[in-house]
Amino acid sequence: MSARPRVYLAGPGVFRPDALAYADGLRMLCARHGLAGVFPLDGDAAADAPAIFRHNLALIDTCAGVLAELTPFRGLAADPGTAFEIGYAYARGLPVVAWTADHRVYRERLVAAGQAWPDGRGGWIDAVGLAVEDFGLVDNLMPVCAARAVEADPGPALARLAAALGLPAAAT
């Protein structure tokens, strides 16, 4: 039997107090779809920022695809580290499938938080007068458009990623 394709589990889950248990849960979901989950905290613990950066890129380089969580993190947008990892994987030709627990359009989140207003010309602006991106997407167009799909939770996202990697649908 061949090894299961490795998929990098990008997202702010590394900051959770239960990060390792959270990673184990994602790995179990991966296994149901014939995939092997690779979490950023896997391997030798890196102690400084440059080492963590190199470690995470090296992990992505060992993977066949990326599952990326775009749930807003420390604000109203996705984790910027995850956005970078999506771009890196996309540039390397890896399939990326994302998920978010908040499927509201990005502009709608800003308006609901009192951080965006109509500009009087049919668009939207923020508190300093900068245009608010409004393409009907759940986040900035760059990470969202790099993903093949954005699902509501990791299970369906992993099903799409497995399909993108040529695996049969998981038995339910």
Q: What pTM was estimated for this model as a whole?
A: 0.94
Q: What is the mean pLDDT of residues 148-167?
A: 97
pLDDT class of 172 with cuts at 50, 70, 90? low
Can you tell me whether residue 37 is helix, strand or coil?
A: strand
Assess if residue 171 is contained within a domain.
no
Number of domains in the chain: 2
Q: Are 154 and 113 within one domain?
A: no
CA distance 40 to 22: 12
162, 95 Cβ separation under 8 angstroms: no
pLDDT at residue 46, as a whole number? 72
110 and 153: one domain? no
- pLDDT tens-digit readout, 43-71: 987 789 999 999 999 999 999 999 999 99
Backbone phi and psi for residue 154, each to the nearest 5 degrees, phi listed first: -65, -30
Strand 96-99 and strand 6-10: pairing? unpaired
User: Tokens for 2?
Assistant: 């061949």
Percentage of the chain with pLDDT > 90? 93
Residues 51 and 112 in one domain: no
The CATH number of residue 70's host domain is 3.40.50.450
C-alpha to C-alpha distance for 67 and 108, rounded to whole angstroms: 25
Q: Domain range spanning residue 159?
A: 6-103+139-164
Mean pLDDT of the 27-52 span: 93
Average pLDDT, whole number, for the chain? Answer: 95
CB neighbours (10 Å) of residue 124?
A: 18
DSSP 8-class letter at 75: S
Per-residue pLDDT band at 171 (split at 50, 70, 90) = low
- One domain, residues 57 and 82: yes
